Amino acid sequence: MALKGFWDRLRGRVMPQDSPQPPAPDPEPPLPPPTLPIRPDVNTPPPYETSTGSLELPPTPLPSALPPAAEVRPREDAAAEREALAGTEPELPTAPETEAVIEPEPEPESEPELEPEPEPASRGGWFARLKAGLARSTARLTEGLTSAFRKRRLDDEALEELEETLITADLGVAASRRIVEGFRKTRFGKEVTEEEVKATLAESIAEILTPIAQPLEIEPHHAPHVVLVVGVNGTGKTTTIAKLGQQYRRQGLKVMFAAGDTFRAAAVEQLQIWGERTGCPVVAPAKMGADAAGLAHDALARARAEGMDVLLIDTAGRLHNKSALMEELRKIIRVIRRLEPSAPHSVLLTLDATTGQNALSQVKVFREMVEVSGLAVTKLDGSAKGGVVVALAQEFGLPVHFVGVGEKADDLRPFAARDFARGLVGLEQAAG
């Protein structure tokens, strides 16, 4: 109960009243035969119930370019199913634990045409989109600056106001202090214009962000490079996988998706639709509630057999408590290491920028569960809290690989520190 309360607080959500504990789950089903059938009927969704009553994050108030991820299982079912996961250590499979199905890889001639990359080689075009995406964060930040710095001397009072503005804009206490101390050292007592303050601010922010702006290097010699994507429900795991699939395919890599969120039919379907759109085969559970670790194991075996360069594994973000989620994620890792001891090669945590400071707690909790190797910060387009990226950089120093500024496959870009910093304070892009 205490853990449950903690988990809900972490998500900053008010959850529906707990359901009574379900009866003990059935013993584990017998193992299926070790070979994986190719199932051409994978597009036929299994019957499932949908409801929209207990979404755990508010819907993003933007036009949806995606199949909604809103369907939620009754909590009782989830709890019962997860009890099995939280139980004693299962035998590691010598054969896959679940029957997985894979969409046949599209014939080359029927492969969906990837849309041409928008604004090819146009860094300026992308910057305009980033800046537009950050507009709400910028507005919040510059509102405070305008009142504090119109043609005035940079004194203690002004610096205090600056610090407050930065904290209000979600940059966090430590980063805000660091920035203000920089101002104190270089500008104290001088007359400053708002533009000068913005330029210096952008430089200070870029300094904090530069060390963590690191691309996610795919190492094709891993064949495949396995990326486990984790995060609280609704933070953008599935969408980010789709966006990454599209990008890597454009780079000429062979990419496979694994629908490891095995408890929601809608989650599996969402990934399958993205697989079709981006031309990435999807390994999906044969039935809802199948073991996620077994599915990941099967997916890795398939990805190897089919010479994939990248395997992106989707995971559930919503479990009835923290220990159940931790157990599931750790089990996935244990089981895929049976096949490939160096996997997963990346553990990507998705964070929803609209949750602001809550993103910091999410990083802490997920790092207790798994070895998070990098972050993707999504929904910067719908957020007034883009400053949280600076707080994340200051507090954890984890690489930020990508930022998401929309729901479409092209709305994910590598994280560029200087551009982000200038966009955040509302300046034009720096030359070079």
Please give the residue ranges that form the binding site for ligand GTP (CB under 6 A): 60, 62, 64, 66, 69, 231, 233-239, 261, 267, 317-318, 350, 378-379, 381-382, 404-407, 411
Q: Which of 129/320 has CB closer to Mg ion?
A: 320
Report how far residue 108's alpha carbon sits from residue 401's, in angstroms, rounded to the nearest whole number.
31
Report how far residue 216's alpha carbon sits from residue 227's, in angstroms, rounded to the nearest whole number.
10
Which partner from the list ligand GTP, Mg ion, none does 62 bind, CB cut-off 5 to 8 Å by kind? Answer: ligand GTP
**Phi, psi (rounded to 5 degrees) for 335:** -70, -40
Which partner from the list ligand GTP, Mg ion, none does 133 bind, CB cut-off 5 to 8 Å by kind? Answer: none
Half-sphere exposure of 37 (CA within 13 A, CB side): 9
The least CB distance from residue 353 to ligand GTP, in Å, is 8
Distance spanning both ends of the chain, measured CA to CA = 54
- Residue position matching structure tokens 């709305």: 411
Residue 30 CB coordination number (10 Å)? 5
Q: Which of 270, 231, 258 is nearest to 366 (CA)?
A: 231
Residue 35 CB coordination number (10 Å)? 8
Q: Which of 224/317 has CB closer to ligand GTP?
A: 317
Of 236-244, 304-312, 402-410, 412-420, the segment contacting Mg ion by CB under 5 A is 236-244
Angle (CA) 329-348-407 rounded to 5° is 115
The least CB distance from residue 300 to ligand GTP, in Å, is 20
Tell how many helices (H) and how many strands (E) occur in the chain.
Answer: 14, 11
Which partner from the list Mg ion, ligand GTP, none does 148 bind, CB cut-off 5 to 8 Å by kind? Answer: none
Report how far residue 285's alpha carbon sits from residue 302's, in angstroms, rounded to the nearest whole number.
13
Q: Which of 42/267 has CB closer to Mg ion?
A: 267
In sequence order, the β-bridge partners of residue 312 are 227, 257
Assigned token pair, 253: 């890599």
Report how far residue 363's alpha carbon sits from residue 108's, in angstroms, rounded to the nearest whole number.
40
Which partner from the list Mg ion, ligand GTP, none does 260 bind, CB cut-off 5 to 8 Å by kind? Answer: none
Eight-state DSSP code of residue 62: S
Half-sphere exposure of 383 (CA within 13 A, CB side): 27
The least CB distance from residue 266 to ligand GTP, in Å, is 8
Q: Which of 198/318 has CB closer to ligand GTP?
A: 318
Of 18-26, 80-88, 264-272, 357-365, the segment contacting Mg ion by CB under 5 A is 264-272
The least CB distance from residue 394 to ligand GTP, in Å, is 22
Q: Which of 158/282 has CB closer to Mg ion?
A: 282
Which partner from the list Mg ion, ligand GTP, none does 235 bind, CB cut-off 5 to 8 Å by kind? Answer: ligand GTP
Of 207-215, 240-248, 261-269, 341-349, the segment contacting Mg ion by CB under 5 A is 261-269
Q: Which listed residue (142, 238, 354, 358) binds Mg ion by CB under 5 A? A: 238
Assigned token pair, 209: 């962000």
Report how far residue 153's alpha carbon sits from residue 162's, in angstroms, rounded to the nearest whole number.
13
Report how far residue 321's alpha carbon sits from residue 81's, in angstroms, rounded to the nearest whole number.
12
Q: Which of 374/382 has CB closer to ligand GTP?
A: 382
Q: Which of 209/316 has CB closer to Mg ion?
A: 316
The least CB distance from residue 104 to ligand GTP, in Å, is 24
Q: Tell me the site size for Mg ion, rule CB under 5 A.
A: 3
**DSSP state string for 57-74:** SPPPSS---S--------
Of 22-30, 153-161, 265-273, 416-424, the segment contacting Mg ion by CB under 5 A is 265-273
The pattern of x and - marking residues 266 through 305 that bind Mg ion according to CB under 5 A reads -x--------------------------------------
Which partner from the list Mg ion, ligand GTP, none does 382 bind, CB cut-off 5 to 8 Å by kind? Answer: ligand GTP
The least CB distance from residue 380 to ligand GTP, in Å, is 7
Report how far residue 355's alpha carbon sits from residue 361's, in angstroms, rounded to the nearest whole number.
10
Residues in CB range of 292: below 8 A, 6 or more apart? 260, 261, 262, 315, 316, 328, 331, 332
Q: Which of 395/410 has CB closer to ligand GTP?
A: 410
The least CB distance from residue 62 to ligand GTP, in Å, is 4
The least CB distance from residue 21 to ligand GTP, in Å, is 23
Report how far residue 7's alpha carbon sits from residue 324's, in angstroms, rounded to the nearest whole number.
11
Q: Which of 72/425 has CB closer to ligand GTP?
A: 72
Positions touching Mg ion (CB under 5 A) are: 237-238, 267
